[in-house]
Amino acid sequence: MKKRAFIWMVMYLLGLGTLVMAQSPITVTSPGKLVRVSFSLSGEGAPMYRVFYRNQAVLGQSALGFALRDGLLKKDFSIVGSAIRSTFDETWEPVWGEVKEIRNHYNEVAIPLKHRSGALLKIVFRVYDNGLGFRYEFPKEGYEHDIAITDELTTFQLTGDHKAFWIPGDWDSNEHLYSTTRISEIKNTWYRETETSIGTMNLHDRQSVQTPITFRMANGWHMAIHEAALIDFPAMQLHVDHRTLKFSAMLVPSLDLVNKAVVKPGHQTPWRAILLGDRAADLLSSKLILNLNEPCKYEDTSWIRPMKFAGVWWEMHLGKSTWDYAGTQDAGSAQGFKPTGRHGATTENTKRYIDFAAANNIQGVLVEGWNMGWENWYGQWKDEVFDFAKPYPDYDIKAVTDYARSKGVEIVGHHETSGAVTSYERQMDRAFAYMKQHGIHAVKTGYVGKIIPKGEHHDGQWMVNHYIRAVETAAGHKVMIDAHEPVRPTGLHRTYPNWMASEAARGNEFNAWSRGNPPEHETILPFTRLLGGPMDYTPGIFDVTFDQFKKEERVHTTVAKQLALYVTMYSPVQMVADLPEHYEGHPALEFIREVAVDWDDTRILNAEVGEYLTIARKAKNSPYWFVGSITDEVSRVFTLSLDFLEAGKTYQATVYEDGQDAHWDKNPKPVNIRRLNVKKGHSLTLKLAAGGGAAISLKPAN
């Protein structure tokens, strides 16, 4: 791991520690005094906490604790010994990211509790100026055996009926559309009936939501609830009580449906994280989730490289070609199919994508449908579907990888597990060694389907551990991972920076085969799902209507908005998702060719959840800036101040904006391109069409 710019840490014990009497509140205030947490034990010895932002309660009296198989850790606690306070201040450099340096500055208190039964529980609060994290520890000395957790009893008592941006609680999928309602109106029944899904959905509670869930308060403040460092534990979802406005933690269950988690003595839970800010933009610049994660585990990270990639991919989603070599997925599992003649991942077709990538500053080419098994992927819960080291007969992997290398392009591998995860784990070492043998350093994994071991869920403890096992195994072979259909990210890319991105949300692919994503969708994701980590959204579709392939489905944006997504939808791996022939001769391809994927600086120029956002980013080790601006279905005019530019320099701005009369539905394709010279102190006016956007590149002119 790269050396940090500077690190200093101040740890102090308050004298010999603060002796705390039961029931007296313990408060922790953030370094700049914006956030305050107050912990106390109720008269019955129940641990409680409250959170204040700018001296106003944003979480009222909220509960802490667990139900264990061996008993309830809910009340009858006392504080044993001393609460330990510390302060931490460090500036660290991410291996890749939105900014060059991140400051991690918080005040902490660790509160040791003892239950009447003798069980021990430690609760640690880390309080930042833009939120807080707290986690539980089951101290080693308090437990003789593994601890079986049947429920987490944490609650979040909201203090107003805020506007909430949410997707339903689902044990197996995050691929939902967002709803915007008051907290008291959260109800998710309709999803079952109307959604198209390729994932396995498992909705179980009409009043449950997933995290991150984001709130806009009446005074314009914003708050989001999520978790950080999800390791060896199930994902946390939330149940809402409409009357009290209280959210209660619900852990995604495991196979046996009784124990949600089983952990070892000494286990620390993931952090329960609350992000706070005056404005929506503050959520976008928050690094709280990353800071709550552990530093990078790897010594050498030189092999981890952000990239743009094209892919033998969209053409299968459009139905132009097939993943399988013979027959169709619907044709069942009978052997002896004849080649369809429509197989996408052929040597020849892949070379076409390699040529396209090489000509356009695109570093990788993803190839899906390259390996044996796709015709057998039929039905749910089928083991041994794919072979991750056996290409189809018309895909000469050596010829393809040699050709790619000769053109300076890398092949991105693909491991679709179809949810047969035990089979994948059996093959994993062999699969990664096979990639290494062919010089492949990145792989997209996929988990479409019900999980095997049967009864496990995508977001349960067993799968949470699997994703990390895959990432660590990949690291052993210097391979980067882009995971589709995994649990949603919780900032673990700080610790495992070869976990480049995840899908874990409803991506652009839904536009190819469902009613798709409405124009507001991309204006909600950055404030919700992306708070946990990068998303492989797959932007860059130019033929947004693709009538040649499908009449009903389409992308619900203008073309200019597809360009802007490279900046607004942060990821260190960005797909150039459309077919090479759809980019041919299009002048707007220049933006995709030039746009960076790794950044030294990021400025949020304007933002309102579910409405619009504009972000400027400075490319890594480069004086170039790129701006992306997007809107929902409302057309807008923005006048942007260019104050982020370096003083005294003239920049050539190339603006890619919605053309005359553009409209996501009626007229999505016109893109107007204009060039002008600008300087710090200047401003630039952009007109965004309904469902539209704008992208700008800014390069020093001399």
Closest to ligand NOJ by CB, 127 vs 385, is 385
Q: How far is the CB of 453 from ligand NOJ (least distance, A)?
A: 21
Of residues 189-208, which lie at the interface with ligand NOJ (CB under 6 A)?
198
Identify whether the C-beta of residue 133 lies closer than 8 Å to the C-beta of residue 110: no
364 touching ligand NOJ, by CB under 6 A: no
368 touching ligand NOJ, by CB under 6 A: yes
**Enclosing H/E stretch for 208:** strand 208-209
Closest to ligand NOJ by CB, 503 vs 598, is 503
| 370-373 contacts, C-beta under 8 A, 24 or more apart | 370/345, 370/395, 370/397, 370/413, 370/414, 371/414
Q: How far is the CB of 514 from ligand NOJ (least distance, A)?
A: 12
**Of Ca ion, ligand NOJ, none, which one does residue 496 interact with (CB within 5 to 8 Å by kind)?**
none
Buried b (16+ CB within 10 A) or exposed e, 256-278: eeebbbbbebebbbbbbbbbbbe
Q: How far is the CB of 200 from Ca ion (least distance, A)?
A: 11
DSSP 44-68: T--EEEEEEETTEEEEEEEE--EEE
- Measured distance CA(276)–CA(289) in Å, rounded: 12
**Of ligand NOJ, Ca ion, none, which one does residue 456 interact with (CB within 5 to 8 Å by kind)?**
none
Indicate which residue of 509, 520, 522, 657 is catalytic: 509
- Measured distance CA(482)–CA(243) in Å, rounded: 41
**Of Ca ion, ligand NOJ, none, which one does residue 416 interact with (CB within 5 to 8 Å by kind)?**
ligand NOJ
- Measured distance CA(497)–CA(436) in Å, rounded: 19
- Measured distance CA(472)–CA(467) in Å, rounded: 9
Closest to ligand NOJ by CB, 269 vs 445, is 445
482 touching ligand NOJ, by CB under 6 A: no
Site string for Ca ion, 493-532 (x = CB under 5 A): ----------x-----------------------------
Pairing of strands 246-251, 120-128: unpaired
253 touching ligand NOJ, by CB under 6 A: no
Closest to ligand NOJ by CB, 95 vs 345, is 345
Applying CB under 6 A, which of residues 129, 416, 632, 657 lies at the interface with ligand NOJ? 416
484 touching ligand NOJ, by CB under 6 A: yes
Q: How far is the CB of 198 from ligand NOJ (least distance, A)?
A: 6
Q: Which amino acid is at 62?
A: S
**Enclosing H/E stretch for 532:** none
**Of Ca ion, ligand NOJ, none, which one does residue 446 interact with (CB within 5 to 8 Å by kind)?**
ligand NOJ
Identify whether the C-beta of residue 126 lies closer than 8 Å to the C-beta of residue 90: no
CA 244 to the chain's CA centroid:
30
What token pair was written down for 59? 């979480």
**Of ligand NOJ, Ca ion, none, which one does residue 368 interact with (CB within 5 to 8 Å by kind)?**
ligand NOJ
Closest to ligand NOJ by CB, 342 vs 649, is 342
**What residues contact 335, with CB distance under 8 A and at least 6 apart?**
none
According to DSSP, residue 79 is labeled: E
Closest to ligand NOJ by CB, 448 vs 684, is 448
What token pair was written down for 197? 């899904």
- Measured distance CA(208)–CA(188) in Å, rounded: 8
Q: How far is the CB of 460 from ligand NOJ (least distance, A)?
A: 20
Of residues 479-498, which lie at the interface with Ca ion (CB under 5 A)?
484
Of residues 301-330, which lie at the interface with ligand NOJ (CB under 6 A)?
313
Pairing of strands 236-241, 246-251: antiparallel
Q: How far is the CB of 193 from ligand NOJ (least distance, A)?
A: 22
Closest to ligand NOJ by CB, 414 vs 561, is 414
368 is known as an active-site residue? no
Closest to ligand NOJ by CB, 178 vs 370, is 370
Q: How far is the CB of 225 from ligand NOJ (least distance, A)?
A: 26
Q: Can the peptide bond before residue 391 be classed as cis, meaning omega within 30 degrees of 0?
A: no
Applying CB under 6 A, which of residues 137, 315, 509, 543 lies at the interface with ligand NOJ? 509
Of residues 53-92, which lie at the interface with ligand NOJ (CB under 6 A)?
none
- With CB atoms as reference, the residue minimizing the distance to ligand NOJ is 416
**Of Ca ion, ligand NOJ, none, which one does residue 522 interact with (CB within 5 to 8 Å by kind)?**
none
Of residues 443-472, which lie at the interface with ligand NOJ (CB under 6 A)?
446, 448
Q: How far is the CB of 511 from Ca ion (least distance, A)?
A: 12
DSSP 364-425: EEEE-S-BTTGGG--SSS-SS---TT-B-TT--HHHHHHHHHHTT-EEEEEEE-TTBHHHHH
Closest to Ca ion by CB, 324 vs 482, is 482
Q: How far is the CB of 636 from ligand NOJ (least distance, A)?
A: 31
Identify whether the C-beta of residue 694 lies closer than 8 Å to the C-beta of residue 658: yes
Contact residues for ligand NOJ (CB under 6 A)? Answer: 198, 313, 368, 416, 446, 448, 484, 503, 509
- Give the residue numbers marked as catalytic: 509
